């Protein structure tokens, strides 16, 4: 079996790439994809630790994370379509109505 | 899973995850994201989570990514032209992400994380064991998840709906103002 350190490092790197995507990119859709990336990194950590503990709880939690991600994608994309219809943009810097 | 396979899949996952955030065309970002999800699904299967791995391919790489694809088509997004942000922001973002990765490594990697290794029971990761757990210990969470999905469906339809009598939102705004 692969050492746990390697799996957790991979998970940490993918999570950090997702964080970097949210910070750097200004396209709302790509920011959204970066969030999916972070969710997946966490799922990977759950699966890795769960299989080493011999417990199914990690896999059940991953199942729920996928459910929440599906709901989040549906609502988020609905919001993006609504924003695009009203403002004709998907650029986060153009949406300044609620900026202080 | 043999070590060389893990190294190959891990490198593939990291490269395609980087592809998500460096591509300028949203479609290419999406393709890179699908590659990442598939790679992570194979890693799941390698970690004896067979059912969850296949669910990842079907639900994530199948359904959710098609939703993204439809939205990109619907909005008719093109390649971004011009600068995509400040250079300082990019530097800061990369630095912050690198620091975060280091920090996570030190927190999550053993021996700081004390994991008592246990041999997996027979049938670990099978559909029967997943369903057994889901419908006994996590039954309430399962029911709540169904309500969550229903609320998300209703909410997304309500959000993306065009209000009656406003065919062109710009014209509607002009009338309103």
The pLDDT of residue B62 is 87
Q: Which of B47, B60, B98 lies at the smallest CB-CB distance from A47?
A: B47
Any idea which fold A4-94 has?
Helix Hairpins (1.10.287)
Question: Would the pLDDT of B175 be above 60?
Answer: no
User: Inter-chain contact B75–A81, Cβ cutoff 8 Å?
Assistant: yes
- Residues in B closer than 8 angstroms to A75, CB to CB, are 152, 155-156, 159
Q: Which is higher by pLDDT, A93 or A36?
A: A36
Q: Among A58-67, B80-89, B154-163, which range has the highest average pLDDT?
A: A58-67
Task: Give the minimum alpha-carbon distance from B123 to chain A in angstroms, rounded to a whole number.
Answer: 10
Chain B residue with CA closest to A75: the answer is: B156
B36 touches chain A (CB under 8 A): yes
Q: How many CB atoms lie within 10 A of CB B168?
A: 10
Question: Would the pLDDT of B84 be above 90?
Answer: no
pTM score over 0.95: no
The pLDDT of residue B81 is 66
CB of A11 within 8 A of CB of B44? Answer: no
Residue whose entry in the numeric block shows the structure tokens 């290794």:
B117
How far is Cα B130 from Cα B98, in angstroms, rounded to an integer?
35
Structure-token pair, residue B30: 């999406």
Task: Give the minimum alpha-carbon distance from A96 to chain B in angstroms, rounded to a whole number.
Answer: 16
CB of A47 within 8 A of CB of A58? Answer: yes
Instruction: Parse chain B into domains and list their residue ranges.
Output: 1-80, 126-163
Q: How far apart are the first and last CA of chain B?
A: 63
| Region of B156 on the Ramachandran plot (φ > 0 left; ψ -120 to 50 alpha; else beta) | alpha
The contacts of residue A89 (CB under 8 Å, 6+ apart) are: A83, A95
Residue whose entry in the numeric block shows the structure tokens 């950590």:
A45
Percent of chain B with pLDDT over 70: 86
C-alpha to C-alpha distances, B6 to A3, A86, B85, B119, nearest whole angstrom: 10, 46, 35, 21
- Residues in B closer than 8 angstroms to A63, CB to CB, are 52, 55, 130, 134
A28 touches chain B (CB under 8 A): no
ipTM topping 0.85: yes
How far is Cα A31 from Cα A86, in angstroms, rounded to an integer?
20
User: Inter-chain contact B77–A29, Cβ cutoff 8 Å?
Assistant: yes
Percent of chain A with pLDDT over 70: 99
How far is Cα B80 from Cα B94, in angstroms, rounded to an integer?
20
Q: How far apart are the first and last CA of chain A?
A: 51
Instruction: Identify the sign of the CA torsion A23, A40, A79, B152.
Output: negative
The pLDDT of residue A89 is 82
- Residues in B closer than 8 angstroms to A25, CB to CB, are 21, 84-85
A92 touches chain B (CB under 8 A): no
B1 touches chain A (CB under 8 A): yes
- Residues in B closer than 8 angstroms to A62, CB to CB, are 44, 49, 52
DSSP state letters, A52-85: HHT-SHHHHHHHHHHHHHHHHHHHHHHHHHHHHH
CATH among 3.90.226.10, 2.60.120.560, 1.20.120.1200, 3.40.1110.10 for B1-80: 1.20.120.1200
Instruction: Parse chain A into domains and list their residue ranges.
Output: 4-94
CB of A45 within 8 A of CB of A7? Answer: yes
- Residues in A closer than 8 angstroms to B84, CB to CB, are 25-27
Q: Which is higher by pLDDT, B119 or A3?
A: A3
Chain B residue with CA closest to A16: the answer is: B97
- Residue contacts between A and B (CB atoms, under 8 Å): 243
User: Inter-chain contact A19–B6, Cβ cutoff 8 Å?
Assistant: no
């Amino acid at each position: 079996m692969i050492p746990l350190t390697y799996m957790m490092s991979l998970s940490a790197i993918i999570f950090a790439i997702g964080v970097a995507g949210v910070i750097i990119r200004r396209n709302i859709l790509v920011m959204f994809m970066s969030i999916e990336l972070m969710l997946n990194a966490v799922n990977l950590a759950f699966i890795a630790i769960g299989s080493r503990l011999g417990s199914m709880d990690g896999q059940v939690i991953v199942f729920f994370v996928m459910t929440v991600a599906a709901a989040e994608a549906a609502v988020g994309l609905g919001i993006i379509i609504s924003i695009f219809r009203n403002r004709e943009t998907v650029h986060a810097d153009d949406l300044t109505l609620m900026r202080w | 899973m043999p070590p060389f396979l893990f190294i190959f899949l891990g490198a593939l996952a990291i490269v395609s995850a980087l592809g998500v955030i460096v591509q300028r065309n949203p479609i290419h970002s999406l393709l890179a994201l699908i590659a990442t999800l598939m790679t992570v699904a194979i890693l799941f299967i390698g970690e004896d989570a067979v059912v969850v791995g296949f669910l990842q391919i079907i639900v994530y790489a199948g359904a959710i990514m098609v939703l993204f694809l439809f939205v990109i088509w619907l909005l008719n997004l093109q390649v971004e032209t011009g600068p995509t942000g400040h250079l300082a922001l990019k530097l800061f973002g990369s630095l912050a992400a690198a620091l975060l990765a280091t920090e996570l490594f030190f927190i999550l990697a053993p021996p700081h994380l004390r994991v008592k290794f246990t041999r997996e029971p027979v049938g670990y990761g099978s559909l029967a064991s997943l369903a057994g757990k889901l419908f006994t210990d996590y039954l309430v969470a399962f029911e709540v998840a169904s309500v969550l999905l229903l609320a998300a469906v209703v909410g997304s339809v309500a959000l993306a709906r065009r209000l009656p009598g406003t065919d062109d939102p710009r014209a509607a705004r002009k009338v309103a103002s």
